Amino acid sequence: SQQGEEDPQALSIQEGENATMNCSYKTSINNLQWYRQNSGRGLVHLILIRSNEREKHSGRLRVTLDTSKKSSSLLITASRAADTASYFCADGDGRASKIIFGSGTRLSIRP
């Protein structure tokens, strides 16, 4: 069964706007990872935030982590058409040697 759940399931915004996706998870984690998947392709690792971090930036991406609420958010600023994809969060537990994915958010960028 999946651990993380993304919200919303689908999001459509205008090019240039910011997109925010949320992820909730159930048990304790070592880290929280975000991935992007273009239609029918493999996943691309975007960013990893560790359980002792609260915020992390990478280019136009900003990730926050609230371990007290067991939630994370991914913000994509100044969206572009190329950002159209599905976005997944995944929680990593080093002891379990696996990462568990949420159901994903489908992001569509309108020109």
CA distance 106 to 47: 18
According to the binding rule CB under 8 A, does residue 30 interact with another protein? yes
According to the binding rule CB under 8 A, does residue 26 interact with another protein? no
Among 26, 57, 80, 98, binds another protein (CB under 8 A): 98
DSSP reduced 3-state for 80 = coil
CA distance 81 to 45: 19
Closest distance of CB 27 from another protein, Å: 13
Interactions with another protein, residue window 54-83 (CB under 8 A): none
Closest to 46 in 3D by CA, of 110, 109, 111, 107: 107
Q: Which residues bind another protein (CB under 8 A)?
A: 1-2, 30-31, 33, 35, 40-45, 48, 88, 92-94, 96-104
